[in-house]
């Protein structure tokens, strides 16, 4: 069955336009409540935890979800603004039925979305999301009054999560001697991330920590690391940590202001683990730079590619019994630390590697040089299938023939926005740029 509403990261769109309207979200909460009640293994009355990022629309959507769950007989706990991975952790720690996050991650404030976590703290399987969509075709109803859900606030959510993040950092290490600029993207970690690094001993300079409901991801965070690079140089810091709006992704900046993406951080992760024991393998995505695959294979580490999206990286990790994975965008997975991608915890793992080794990020990655990539995003109509565009298919085939074994082409539809992403990887930036442009120029919609 083709899913109508769920993309690679839940349901997402522009606020006020289907599916991100109060009525739709209430129906979504009701349908999810019914499905989760049927599939729950926790026993007793189902309880769902709801968190959100700092978008102004979060208030409206939180109320709509709460109403839908209550009508289905599901109790609700409200955590307020919290990182996505915090909701995953708290759902599991409190033995709840499910967790829900109201966020559009790295998107601008006028977008929002809904994503779900199971009681185990992992993204819902595709089959469960499909069941929720099917249930939405049924008319909304209401359980008897005595069975309606109740709502209450989870007052200690912030403190619980801060302690959890700190617990993933080695007991024998601290961050004393490090000056770190933390860019919270005016998002969900604004009142959490700076405290985590400070409590572990670092001198912290916080930026992007003044949310007003409209400035999330605006000129700050993992999608706009220029502000962090400038702040690191200005404050003469050792590192910069850039999170996105819901704090599930990470980019790092070194003392020179140089940005390190998720592909490079995945390499650092594996290299650090190899220093203390064997690493069976790591998982990237179709977008992961070829240099990572080549470098890991040289070190005797297996490498597998998943579809784009951290949920698919997680699936491949679980299939293979591995624990390390990531995306170039900064979604990192340490399955021995958390069940889902977590920007704060990922930063702590990288910083612990640097602290333990005494090396800089540049020294850690000097033996791996990324192949130039060019990514072009082309706006299209929702649901557009680029493979019916004969001119584009022909150009893609021609480019692949020219590249041979010295590069690759990847074209895919975004799972969260009406975009076709055209990526070309080659030995030179000029070749990657020109070939990506050749293909994208054939996409006339």
Beta bridge partners of 152: 77
Distance CA 164, CA 89 (A): 8
**Contact status, residue 281 vs residue 347, Cβ threshold 8 Å:** no
Put residue 176 in one of left, alpha, beta given phi > 0 → left and psi -120 to 50 → alpha: beta
Phi-psi region of 217 (alpha: psi -120 to 50; beta: other; left: phi over 0): left
List the catalytic residue out of 40, 64, 103, 105: 105
The answer to whether the beta carbons of residues 122 and 340 sit under 8 Å apart is: yes
Is 105 a known active-site residue?
A: yes
Between the two ends of the chain, the Cα-to-Cα distance in Å is: 26
> Which among 5, 90, 82 is positioned nearest to 48, based on CA atoms?
90
Distance CA 426, CA 439 (A): 14
Q: Dump the DSSP string for 233-255.
A: HHHT-SEEEEE-TTS--EEEEET
Phi, psi torsion values for 354, nearest 5 degrees: -70, -40
Q: How far is CA 359 from the centre of its chain?
A: 27
Q: Evaluate whether 188 touches 83 at the Cβ level (below 8 Å).
A: yes
- Sheet with 75-81, edge to edge strand ranges: 11-14, 111-118, 98-102, 47-52, 75-81, 151-153
Tokens of 346: 């990922």
Tell me how far apart the alpha carbons of residues 224 and 206 are, in angstroms, rounded to a whole number. 15
Strand-strand pairing, 250-254 and 239-243: antiparallel
Catalytic positions are 105
């Amino acid at each position: 069955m083709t899913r109508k509403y769920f993309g690679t990261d839940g349901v997402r769109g522009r606020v006020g336009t289907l599916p991100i309207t109060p009525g739709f979200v209430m129906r979504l909460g009701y349908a999810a409540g019914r499905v989760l009640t049927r599939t729950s293994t926790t026993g007793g009355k189902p309880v769902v935890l709801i968190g959100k990022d700092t978008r102004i629309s979060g208030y409206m959507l939180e109320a709509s979800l709460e109403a839908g769950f209550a009508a289905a007989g599901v109790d609700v706990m409200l955590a307020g603004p919290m990182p996505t991975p915090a909701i995953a952790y708290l759902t599991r720690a409190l033995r709840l039925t499910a967790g829900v996050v109201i966020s559009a991650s790295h998107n601008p404030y006028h977008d929002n979305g809904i994503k779900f976590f199971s009681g185990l703290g992992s993204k819902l399987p595709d089959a469960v999301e499909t069941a929720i969509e099917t249930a939405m075709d049924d008319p909304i109803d209401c359980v008897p009054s005595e069975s309606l859900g109740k709502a209450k606030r989870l007052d200690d959510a912030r403190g619980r999560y801060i302690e959890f993040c700190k617990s993933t950092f080695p007991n024998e290490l601290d961050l004393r001697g490090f000056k770190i600029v933390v860019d919270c993207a005016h998002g969900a970690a604004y009142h959490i991330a700076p405290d985590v690094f400070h409590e572990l001993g670092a001198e912290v300079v916080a930026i992007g920590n003044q949310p007003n409901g409209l400035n999330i991801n605006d000129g700050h965070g993992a999608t706009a690391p220029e502000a962090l690079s400038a702040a690191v140089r200005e404050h003469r810091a050792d590192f910069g940590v850039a999170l996105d709006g819901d704090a599930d992704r990470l980019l790092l900046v070194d003392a020179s202001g140089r940005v390190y993406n998720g592909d490079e951080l995945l390499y650092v992760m594996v290299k650090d683990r190899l220093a203390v024991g064997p690493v069976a393998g790591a998982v990237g995505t179709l977008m992961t730079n070829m240099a990572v695959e080549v470098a890991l294979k040289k070190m005797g580490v297996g490498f597998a590619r998943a579809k784009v999206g951290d949920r698919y990286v997680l699936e491949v990790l679980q299939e293979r019994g591995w624990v390390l994975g990531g995306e170039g965008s900064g979604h990192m997975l340490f399955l021995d630390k958390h069940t889902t991608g977590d920007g704060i915890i990922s930063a702590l793992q990288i910083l612990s590697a640097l602290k333990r080794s005494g090396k800089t990020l540049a020294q850690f990655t000097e033996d791996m040089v990324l192949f130039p990539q060019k990514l072009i995003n082309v706006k299209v109509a929702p649901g557009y299938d680029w493979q019916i565009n004969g001119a584009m298919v022909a150009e893609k085939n021609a480019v692949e023939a020219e590249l041979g074994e010295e590069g690759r082409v990847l074209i895919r539809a975004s799972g969260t926005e009406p975009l076709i992403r055209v990526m070309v990887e080659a030995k030179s930036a000029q070749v990657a740029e020109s070939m990506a442009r050749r293909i994208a120029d054939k996409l006339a919609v």
